[in-house]
Amino acid sequence: MFGLLSQLAHVELGSPCPEESATFFTDVFGLYETERDGESVYLRGWGDHFHHSLVVTEAAAPQVLHVGWRAAGEEALGSAAAALEGAGAGEGWREPVRGHGRAYRFRTPGGIAHEVFWEVDRYEADEAGRSTLPIRVQRFAPVGVAARQIDHVTFVTPKIMEDVGLFRDALGSRFMEYAMAPDGEEVAFAEVSSNEQAHDIAFVGVPQAPPGLSHHFAFWLDSPAEVHRAADILRESGNPVEWGPARHGHGENTFLYVREPGGHRVEVFSGGYRNYQPDWEPRKWSADQGGVEMFVNNPMPASLFEAFPPDPAPPADRAAAGVAAAS
C-alpha cells in the first residue's frame, strides 16, 4: 500500500450480452455470484474479500463503465477527495450503493470514471462455503480457471502522462515502469502501482485515441503454473486465448488474454516481482527490450490493439500509434 489507495476493489464491465458474460465468469473463469439485481450481476473470485470485484451490467458495447478503489482509510478517503478535486478531476460524492459506502467519484484525463470509498461490505461464506483454513474467506473448490482475486486494470488514453500524474501526484501511487514508442519520443505504456507489484493500473498511450477507452482488466492466480493451466482450460472450453500464456518483462508477470462473450479483453495473471521502495525511480524500457513480451519472440497479435468500446473504423494513424505500444 503506497499512497491514499489501499487496493483496486472492483471493475464494472458493460456487456451487450450480460447473461452470457456472467455465465462465462462463473462457469469458465470460476468467479462466484454474490447477488444480482435488475441490471447487474455482482461477482467475486474465491479469494476476494469484498462483496464483489466485478459487476456485469448491460451496455450497448463492451467497455469498463467504472473502476472502484478502496482508500487507505477514512482519513485517506478525505485526503484523496480533496486532492482529486484540487487536480480538477473530481466529480463529487456519491451515496452508498450495494457493496460499499459513500464514494468520491473522479474522472481521469483519459476519460475513465473511477470511485474511491472506504466503508466496504465483506463477503461472508455460508456454512457450506466456509474454508477449513481460518484465513480464507471461502473454501477453495475450483471451477475452471478459478481466478483468485482481481488484480489490475488497463486503459487506452490520449493523455498518458496526465493519467500517470493524477495517480502519482494526487493519490500517491508509485510510477513504476514505462515503455517508449519505437520512435523514442512518446511514452507508449506506463505502469502505476499502489502495491508491491509493478501495477494495479496501467495506461496505453495513443495520442489520437478518443477518451474513455478500456483495454483489459486482470484477475490473479497463485502461480505461473496456474496461468498455463488456465490456457488449456480456456482453449478446451471454446474460449481461445487471444495472446499468451507468456511473460511480460514489465513486472516480470506471467499472463494470458482472452475475450469474454461481450467482447472485452480479460487477463489472467500471476508471478511478478515484489518491490517495496517508496522512492523507486520509474524504469524506462525501449521498444525493443521485451517489456511487453520478455522473450521478444512472441509478438502481440493485431487484435490486442482493439480497445473498448470498439471503434468500427479507427483512423489509420491511431492504429499505427497503437502498434508503437506493442512493439
How many whole angstroms separate alpha carbon 111 and alpha carbon 194? Answer: 20
- Taking the complex as a whole, how short is the minimal distance between the CB of residue 278 and a second copy, in angstroms? 5
Under 8 Å between Cβ of 202 and 112: no
What residues contact residue 119 under an 8 Å CB cut-off, 6+ apart? 96, 100, 101, 102
Under 8 Å between Cβ of 314 and 321: no
Question: What cell was used for 114?
Answer: 473511477
Phi, psi of 230 (to 5 degrees): -60, -35
∠ Cα 55 56 59 (to 5°)? 130
- Taking the complex as a whole, how short is the minimal distance between the CB of residue 199 and a second copy, in angstroms? 12
How many whole angstroms separate alpha carbon 221 and alpha carbon 210? Answer: 33
CB nearer to a second copy: give 28 or 209: 28
Under 8 Å between Cβ of 262 and 23: no
Closest to 47 (Cα-Cα) out of 180, 141, 178: 141
- Taking the complex as a whole, how short is the minimal distance between the CB of residue 148 and a second copy, in angstroms? 8
- Taking the complex as a whole, how short is the minimal distance between the CB of residue 104 and a second copy, in angstroms? 17
Residue owning grid cell 456472467: 22
CB nearer to a second copy: give 36 or 130: 130
Closest to 272 (Cα-Cα) out of 195, 165, 163: 195
CB nearer to a second copy: give 36 or 168: 168
Burial classification of residue 213, based on how many CB atoms lie within 10 Å of its CB (0-12 exposed, 13-18 middle, 19 or more buried):
buried
- Taking the complex as a whole, how short is the minimal distance between the CB of residue 250 and a second copy, in angstroms? 8
CB nearer to a second copy: give 93 or 273: 273
- Taking the complex as a whole, how short is the minimal distance between the CB of residue 7 and a second copy, in angstroms? 4
CB nearer to a second copy: give 88 or 240: 240
Closest to 2 (Cα-Cα) out of 286, 254, 196: 196
How many whole angstroms separate alpha carbon 314 and alpha carbon 81? Answer: 35
CB nearer to a second copy: give 13 or 233: 233
Question: What cell was used for 23?
Answer: 455465465
- Taking the complex as a whole, how short is the minimal distance between the CB of residue 248 and a second copy, in angstroms? 10
CB nearer to a second copy: give 39 or 236: 236
